Amino acid sequence: MTPASENTGLAQLRSACSRCSLARLCLPMGLSESQTCRLDNLVEPSAPLHADDHLFRIDDPFTTIYAVRSGCFKSYVVDGEGREQVLGFHLPGELMGLDAIYTHRHRRNAVALDTGTVCKLPYADLTRLATEMPQLQQQIMRLLSKDISTLENMVADHTADERLAGFLLGLSSRYHHRGFSATRFRLAMPRRDIANYLRLAPETVSRILARFQADGLIAVERRDMELLDTERLRQTAGEAHHLSAPVFD
Amino acid sequence: MTPASENTGLAQLRSACSRCSLARLCLPMGLSESQTCRLDNLVEPSAPLHADDHLFRIDDPFTTIYAVRSGCFKSYVVDGEGREQVLGFHLPGELMGLDAIYTHRHRRNAVALDTGTVCKLPYADLTRLATEMPQLQQQIMRLLSKDISTLENMVADHTADERLAGFLLGLSSRYHHRGFSATRFRLAMPRRDIANYLRLAPETVSRILARFQADGLIAVERRDMELLDTERLRQTAGEAHHLSAPVFD
DNA sequence: CGCTATTTTGAGCCGCGTCAATACGGGTGG
DNA sequence: CCACCCGTATTGACGCGGCTCAAAATAGCG
């Protein structure tokens, strides 16, 4: 192998947002090709992670923002009584760690739900680049602002039916934007995590999924989900259109 | 009056973050004196607003970030069935409108609860200045990130007791940071708004306040609130330390 | 094939919302 | 100064959505 091809190989391995199929969903969204190349130099790809591998834990010093490259991740906190509280599921192209900017320490734990990889973005380098690149600054602020909008959606007091319907529609939309089917997908997370995320009991999730199925809204078999009647599902969700963080629309 | 003194007068009127007692809580936090002066040139003070005056409404084009200078403001959305949903109360030094960055349109309504004033910050100018002033960029991102943390606090499924105790402690902390008493303050908002913000029924708020009073935690008379036992109040709040957006600690 | 984690199903109960009535307070006009 | 009125707040009775506890069914895995 020649040094030249070695370099090319290394550059590809080093990340190449410019060639990443997720670029239009991720941090490079809206950046020009040359701007994306400058971003490439910051990004460091991770070794493959496996289920239960943690990316960071609460109170870890905040140095890095993580972008999901493949797989599905979960972020959560643990309260004083040891109860887990799921705060989000993160699909490829989505960022994790943004809420740590304020405290300089992570405010959540982040863990892989299955095998996956991430891109690491050193925050100091990222902000330095952002001062030189107004579009990147804009993009970071837009992503922060979007997280706020999504959380605002979460705080509304929806019924269990609305929450679950909204969650399924949100997942559907996110998978669709990534080139997967909007109506058939595999749930990366157990019922327990879905229930916890939606602030419901696992039993409630099971019961409602069963009823949705009886009503012909969905066909569900363990982790395999099919949306049969998205229109009625949307009516059921009501205001909770996209109960699934972060939202892409 | 000489032109010089006219200019000085105008500059003071034009805002003077440099002289504002709220500077250490607001956007200028962490900026040097000369940096704050550059911010001064952007800021435009508002005419006094009265109760029920709106700053902006949902779907208004987003051009401006608002900083509360005096008074108390409420932000809320209205859902499809016409029900109001309170998303936050905003005290002096706090910013409103940050969640509109993503969509370029406002996602909430903002209204004065009593007589008050705000500072208007044109967003385009602000981001332009931020590219030249890394500390300002940092500060905006920190404030965005803090809003995320606060909302994360809100989404946890606390009991009604925890929510209300957390809300009172949050208000207490915010008043304290502004130089007011941490134990005696006047509620700027009616019970209905408190209940709505905490996702409770107004009747529930009344009942719990009555019980808190019977238990010696507080003394409350209409809008006048006194915290008698903050320690037990904190125990009651549990994880909901600061159920009041945005948080300052 | 047995072991364990996950999911489903059933029974009972409790926190909080809903509905309704009452009390309070601040403003207005006589 | 008092009578009246209306919005806000309180208090009580009752019902329901979703949680808890318990047990059975199913799937993944060594």
Which residues in A lie closer than 8 A to residue B151 (C-beta atoms)?
Answer: 148, 151-152, 154-155
pLDDT of residue A13 exceeding 60, the answer is no
pLDDT single digits (tens) B40-80: 999 988 888 999 999 999 999 999 999 999 999 999 998 87
Binary contact (B144, A148; C-beta < 8 A): yes
Whether any strand D atom is under 7 angstroms from the Cβ of B84: the reply reads: no
CATH code assigned to B3-154: 2.60.120.10
CB contact at 8 A, A182 and A176: yes
Which residues in B lie closer than 8 A to residue A138 (C-beta atoms)?
Answer: 127
pLDDT of amino acid A243:
64
Q: Compute the 3-state secondary structure of chain A and give helix, strand, coil in percent, each to the nearest 5.
A: 40, 20, 40
Q: Which CATH superfamily is domain A20-154 in?
A: Jelly Rolls (2.60.120.10)
- pLDDT bin (cut points 50, 70, 90) of residue B147 is confident
**Minimum CA–CA partner of B158 in chain A:** A199
Question: Protein A24 CA to nucleic acid C22 C1', in Å?
Answer: 61
Crossing angle of helices A123-132 and A134-155, in 10° steps, is: 120
Q: Could you tell me which residues come within 8 angstroms of residue B203 by beta carbon, excluding any fewer than 6 positions away?
A: none
Q: Give just the sign of the alpha carbon dihedral B228, B216, B170, B79.
A: negative
Question: Protein B192 CA to nucleic acid C27 C1', in Å?
Answer: 21
Q: Give just the sign of the alpha carbon dihedral A228, A232, A233, A234.
A: positive
Residue B4's CB is within 10 A of a number of other CB atoms, namely 8
Measured in angstroms, the CA of A249 and the nearest CA of chain B are apart by 10
Cα B212 to the chain's mean position, in Å? 25
pTM over 0.85: yes
CA distance A141 to B103: 11
Measured in angstroms, the CA of B76 and the nearest CA of chain A are apart by 10
Q: Greater confidence, A89 or B12? A: A89
Token pair in block for residue A112: 């892989």
Binary contact (B103, A149; C-beta < 8 A): yes
Q: Could you tell me which residues come within 8 angstroms of residue A153 by beta carbon, excluding any fewer than 6 positions away?
A: A240, A241, A242, A243, A247
Mean pLDDT lowest for which of A62-66, A98-102, B23-27, B34-38? A98-102
CA distance A156 to A142: 22
Whether any strand C atom is under 7 angstroms from the Cβ of A158: the reply reads: no
In the block, tokens 């259109």 appear at A241
CB contact at 8 A, A203 and A164: no
Q: Give just the sign of the alpha carbon dihedral A191, A192, A196, A197.
A: negative
pLDDT of amino acid B8:
47
**Minimum CA–CA partner of B247 in chain A:** A102
pLDDT of amino acid B24:
87
What Cα–Cα distance (Å) separates residue A42 from each residue in A38, A92, A130, B132? 7, 18, 12, 21
Measured in angstroms, the CA of A192 and the nearest CA of chain B are apart by 15
Which residues in A lie closer than 8 A to residue B238 (C-beta atoms)?
Answer: 79-80
Q: Are strands B224-227 and A44-45 parallel, antiparallel or unpaired?
A: unpaired
Reported as half-sphere exposure (CB side, CA atoms, 13 A), residue B194 has a value of 23
pLDDT of residue A216 exceeding 60, the answer is yes
Which H or E run includes A110? strand A109-112
Whether any strand C atom is under 7 angstroms from the Cβ of B83: the reply reads: no
pLDDT single digits (tens) A85-98: 999 999 999 999 98
CA distance B29 to B135: 9
Rounded to 5 degrees, φ, ψ at A23 are -55, -40
Crossing angle of helices B123-132 and B134-155, in 10° steps, is: 120
**Minimum CA–CA partner of B79 in chain A:** A239
pLDDT of amino acid A79:
82
For chains A and B, what is the number of CB pairs under 8 angstroms? 113
**Minimum CA–CA partner of A78 in chain B:** B239
pLDDT single digits (tens) A122-143: 999 999 999 999 889 888 888 8
Smallest CA-to-CA distance from A233 within A211, A210, A247, A212 is with: A212
Whether any strand D atom is under 7 angstroms from the Cβ of B83: the reply reads: no
Q: Greater confidence, A190 or B244? A: A190
CA distance B108 to A30: 26
Binary contact (B134, A141; C-beta < 8 A): no
Nearest to A102 among B107, B146, B154 (CB): B146
CA dihedral of A194, A177, A52, A165, whole degrees rounded to 10 = 0
Map out the domains of chain B as residue ranges. Answer: 3-154, 157-237
Which strands make up the sheet holding B109-112, listed edge to edge?
B54-56, B109-112, B73-78, B84-90
CA distance B11 to B17: 10
Binary contact (A151, B149; C-beta < 8 A): no
Type of residue at B169: L
* For range A204-220, the mean pLDDT: 97
pLDDT of residue A10 exceeding 70, the answer is no
What's chain B's Rg over C-alpha atoms? 19
Token pair in block for residue A223: 């982790």
CA dihedral of A59, A63, A68, A71, whole degrees rounded to 10 = -50
Domain A157-237 has CATH 1.10.10.10: yes
* For range A56-68, the mean pLDDT: 95
Which 172-211 residues of chain A approach strand C with CB closer than 7 Å? 190-192, 202-203, 205-207, 209-210
